[in-house]
Amino acid sequence: MLLETFAKYLKSGEINIEAFLDELLREHSHFNLCWYWVEPGGNRLLKLPGSSCESLELGEREIIALAHKAVEGQWESFEYVSNNSPGCGWASKIDLGDNYFSSILLFGGSEFTFERELRDKLTIALVAMGMLSFSQDLQSHIMDMQRHIRFQAIWAEAQEWIKNVDEDNDEFYLELLTRAELVSQSIASAIRICVRREETVGGIDNSGVDAGQPEGQEQPDRWLVRKTQKEFIEAVADQLGRDSVLAPAETRRFNDFNVNPVSGDYKPVRHMVAYPVFTDNKQLNCVLYVLKNGEESGYSQLDEILLSQLITQVYYGLEKNILLRRLESRHQELDAERKEQEKLIQKLKDTTSKLVQSEKLASIGQLAAGVAHEINNPVGYVSSNISTLSDYVDAMFELLDEIKKSVEHDGGDPDRLKARIGELEHQYEADYIRSDVQDLIAESKDGIHRVRQIIQSLKDFSRPDTGEYTIADLHRTIDQTLNIVNNELKHRVTVIKEYGDIPEVEMVESQIGQVILNLLVNAGHAIEQQGQIVIRTIVEGDQVCLSVEDNGQGIPKENLEKLFDPFFTTKPVGRGTGLGLALSYGIVNKHQGRIEVDSTPGKGTTFKVYLPIVQPKKG
């Protein structure tokens, strides 16, 4: 009879324990029964009140404490207090190991007789319910494990799929729905797309308004469905709440609802999960729906967890790919910009080089008259000396001719020949010519050397700039520059050189020569009558300092800030381009140095140029 009753309430491996115990105790209504089941994942307490006894007024904690005290495999009595009255009860339990046990407690009041027949029935029921519950829990764990294994296989395939996806288009969403159905064991799915994910990746909402959409008008949501209808989802929303279905703030499970499909082509749906996806800035991106019919069990927490893992990881992969694509695109843009900047920088270098060269030639043009005079002076006396030497040569040739004649006529008389040669030497001033020729030759050599120095200095100065750094003698560069500006300065200015003991400097010699020329010319222009320029060089740490100091008219304070601005000049038209100091500043800066100026109107100006002895290594 007991087994028949048990089988009656056993269906598909599950038993309605409450109904089973209720029928089992139908003839025994003089006590209250509690069934307590414990498993690792939790516990369950079932209370069945007797119809012909007082209700049990015990807290759940007290009942559970009594259940834990029960002795395995034996029925033992216990005492309790309910409704301020003492009572007597019986309890037993079965321990299935691994923290599984089942217990039955009977609460029968002050007078309670525990019949043997009832005891046997409850013992068998206790064992049967315990074993069945244990089996059900074990089966549940096996099914969960199978679900996890199934999920891992689906996720492994999804990982390979998402590797090549970098756009949330319709194809992406339909593929996602297919995998969501597999993970949740659903028969249909749908998605409501509010804003494209790609438009908001990186925390920037670029969704904006469509080009063809009037400003201020919201764009309608897009729906994609698999084996269901958009209208059915909306019908479910009308029944269960539109906000909770169409725009949920969190994942929602709806089990055992009753909404018939709009079309007869689809099976009735009784269970649904609505999973919202949000953007980085908390904007609703889309809502994904999975659905089951009434033949399937409702969605569980595990379904929700696995669905969440799938969607979260898929969107993570999508966002990563979108960012990588954007990064690659940006990298290409930056590379193109870099190449364009390199072209512009090269063009700027070429322009600057041409500008420096033009300024050199302009400087030479301004100094041309003085340079020509510097060359003409030695050339003039060399020419004069050559003319005098030519006369001397003619006289010497004539003297040699006369001596030859005397040898032929008086060669037999040595005394007479010697006297005649003396007369001829005196006549042609041979002794004077002999001494003067030495002076003329020395003077001509000096003049030619002077011209050669000026021409070499001009060649070095005006040579097109290669931009190559070399180890050079700064003092030699200063002296060469002085050769060029000497005529500009010598009539009004005394140049004093106070050279220190400095090492050779790594520099572009022609560029530094341009800087020195600009400073010397400016210093000379600042001296209106008579004055002096002092050129000093010293070592300061790992730099050399070149200073050019004049005692000219000085620079007004309001002009000091504009001194290095291109095209700024206070000189008369034709005397300056306004580029000299600007170019000098750029050249010194390029050499990793600096240029400083100190000026007092009416007293003079000092420019200091600091240059590294060795250029710092790049990078």
Average pLDDT over residues 193-201: 67
Confidence of residue 263 (pLDDT cuts 50, 70, 90): low
pLDDT of residue 308: 93
pLDDT of residue 276: 93
Give the residue among 428, 392, 369 at the shortest CA–CA distance from 574.
369
φ, ψ of residue 292 to 5 degrees: the values are -130, 155
Average pLDDT over residues 46-59: 73
Q: Is the pLDDT of residue 547 over 90?
A: yes
Both structure tokens of 613: 């002895």
pLDDT of residue 343: 87
Q: Is the pLDDT of residue 264 over 90?
A: no
pLDDT of residue 386: 83
Confidence of residue 210 (pLDDT cuts 50, 70, 90): very low
Q: Is the pLDDT of residue 231 over 80?
A: yes
- Helix or strand holding residue 2 (H, E): helix 2-8
Confidence of residue 455 (pLDDT cuts 50, 70, 90): confident
Digit-coded pLDDT (tens) for 549-562: 999 888 888 887 77
| pLDDT: which is higher, 576 or 307 | 307
Helix and strand numbers (H, E) in the chain are: 14, 19
Question: If you average pLDDT over every residue of the chain, what do you get?
Answer: 80
Confidence of residue 243 (pLDDT cuts 50, 70, 90): confident
Alpha-carbon span 245 to 254, nearest angstrom: 9
Average pLDDT over residues 233-244: 86
pLDDT of residue 177: 95
According to DSSP, the residues that pair with 605 across neighbouring strands are 550, 599
Alpha-carbon span 468 to 507, nearest angstrom: 8
Alpha-carbon span 432 to 440, nearest angstrom: 12
Burial 364-381 (b: 16+ CB within 10 A, else e): eebbeebbeebbeebeee
Min mean pLDDT across 81-95, 136-150, 164-178, 300-314 is at 136-150
Q: Is the pLDDT of residue 505 over 90?
A: yes
User: Residue 66 CB: number of other CB atoms within 10 A?
Assistant: 19
Average pLDDT over residues 116-131: 78
| pLDDT: which is higher, 408 or 150 | 150
Q: What percent of the chain has pLDDT over 90?
A: 20
